[in-house]
Structure 1
Amino acid sequence: MSLPEAWAGLPFFDQDWPGISARLDGQDWLPGASRVFAALKLTPPEAARVVILGQDPYPTPGHANGLAFSVTPETALPRSLKNIYTEMREDLGHAPPNGDLSHWARQGVLLLNTSLSVLPGQAGVHAKWGWDRLARQAVARAQKERPLAFILWGAHAQKALAGLPRAQDLVIETAHPSPLSARRGFFGSRPFSRVNDWLAARGDMPIDWALSETAVAG
């Protein structure tokens, strides 16, 4: 599988990836070799402006596309993503037409999971393989380019990147958008407009969260 060239200097690829790759060899894992580094390939460090951290890929074959919280266009919205879109409609008035968040990644939203592989039907099975070092290293590398906006949903994301946000970064920490916790502070947090207001104040382009040319209201 090809590595993300723009991120190739991260220590992870010399120190951790050879061992992880060997463990994956021969397994039927998700999202597969062609999509495992999709987040890094779509958002090089010089383009990263926003960080959203997930946990691991969806364990249902055909759902995960290598981006945190994102699914393939034909996949029904997972419950957390459905809540994310509900909050976006409250915040911005519209949401994307499907669950593929590639258009976020192309605008500089780094959609990393703390684990980039999983086995079908076995959520979290690779969580202790050392993947989390890649997430921290990638964020630290992107911080060398500019201040970043962190959207950290839930304790897992907040703990995984603890100590990295700086005074010049924007940090939005709320409950996770899952049905179990969304009403404990996620709903009403308006992360999308807050990030865009921060970007605008810096003279930067806002994120077109809803993919406006195809956005659907309601």
Structure 2
Amino acid sequence: MKALFSKDDIPNDWQELLGDYFNSTDWQSLEKNLQSVLDLDPNTVRPEPRNFFKALKLCPVNSVKVVILGQDPYHSPGLAQGLAFSIPAEIAVNSRTFPSSLRNISKALALEGFGALHNGDLHDWAKQGVLLLNTALSVKLGEAGSHTNLGWKSLIDMLITALVKQKPNLVWMLWGGHAQSKLPLIESGLGQLVLQSSHPSGLGVYKTGRPFLEPGGKVSCGHFTKANQWLIDHQASPIQWVDGTWTDLFS
């Protein structure tokens, strides 16, 4: 049975948000391109097609509080889950395969007083209203950025534009130039908190005038604390970034 790409994989609430986008030539092009890739060899595509829209499935429109934009899924075997930055819990934090971006996210959380991540699985963030959205939802194994030109941009841009129009007071974490390129779309909405820094991966974490971690790694950009304070100020419950930490910090 061949893998299929269909709008039916997108939850109804997100389909409604996207409106008549599915009648557009942009959607038809994406649908055609993805199906061609899957027909060629679905085993080289990550995440598995059933997980392309996991971020939307775990985080309904009405529950979104925070949006973290990634670029495309991990292209190494065994990592991509359909959630930006998230990896399976069984991958040890001291493993060589544990991504540097997650390692630095964990450092930032610890510096902000939340404690370090116990593992790299961020499903619990999604269930609390953190939309972990990549700007391309698929990739070919071993080839970073390989699916960015298949048409994902039109879908993600439309989703961002529609989301900010429907939901005021969201928090957006834009790490790195690629995520920050979506700023004009986000600014079309009302009351959005935009937090920007360098990308948390590799040495880039310390670069730019707004580093994710300050050189020396002893000060964080403070995004997780700022996000929770914003949510509290707008009568929303803060995110429990690491088990059992937000209550003490924000009660």
Q: TM-score, normalising length from structure 2? A: 0.79
Residue equivalent to 1:18:
31
Which of 56, 61, 68 pairs up with 1:45? 61
Which of 230, 237, 241 pairs up with 1:209? 241
Residue equivalent to 2:198:
175
Q: Deviations over 1:33-88 (max 9, x none)?
A: 22110001111111111111001111122211000011111224311110011011
Residue equivalent to 2:11:
4
Task: Give the stretch that moved more between structures: 5-14 or 77-86.
Answer: 5-14
Deviation at 1:167, TM superposition (A): 5.1
In terms of fraction of residues, the more helix-rich structure is 2
- RMSD, matched Cα: 1.8
Task: Give the stretch that moved more between structures: 197-206 or 89-98.
Answer: 89-98
Using CA pairs under 8 Å that are at least 6 residues apart, name the structure with larger relative contact order, 1 or 2: 1
Deviation at 1:3, TM superposition (A): 2.6
Task: Please state if 1:56 is matched with 2:105.
Answer: no
> d(CA) in 1 for partners of 2:160 and 2:243?
25
Deviation at 1:4, TM superposition (A): 2.1
Q: Deviations over 1:181-206 (max 9, x none)?
A: 11131112110000000111111100
In structure 1, the gaps of 5 or more residues are 214-218
Residue equivalent to 1:124:
145
Task: Please state if 1:164 is matched with 2:186.
Answer: yes
Identity %: 38
Query: Secondary structure at 1:180's aligned position in 2?
Result: helix
Query: Secondary structure at 2:155's aligned position in 1?
Result: helix
Task: Please state if 1:150 is matched with 2:172.
Answer: yes
> d(CA) in 1 for partners of 2:91 and 2:36?
28
CA contact (8 A) 2:101 2:200 kept: yes
CA contact (8 A) 1:103 1:211 kept: no
> d(CA) in 2 for partners of 1:63 and 1:13?
30
> d(CA) in 2 for partners of 1:105 and 1:13?
25
Residue equivalent to 1:91:
112
> d(CA) in 1 for partners of 2:222 and 2:67?
16
Q: TM-score, normalising length from structure 1? A: 0.90
Which of 56, 68, 75 pairs up with 2:91? 75
Task: Please state if 1:186 is matched with 2:193.
Answer: no
- 1:147 maps to a residue whose letter is N
| Runs ≥4 residues deviating over 3 A | 11-15
> d(CA) in 2 for partners of 1:5 and 1:61?
30
Deviation at 1:12, TM superposition (A): 4.7
> d(CA) in 1 for partners of 2:161 and 2:78?
31
Query: Secondary structure at 1:7's aligned position in 2?
Result: helix
> d(CA) in 2 for partners of 1:37 and 1:12?
16
- 1:194 maps to a residue whose letter is K
> d(CA) in 2 for partners of 1:172 and 1:47?
20
CA contact (8 A) 2:169 2:190 kept: no
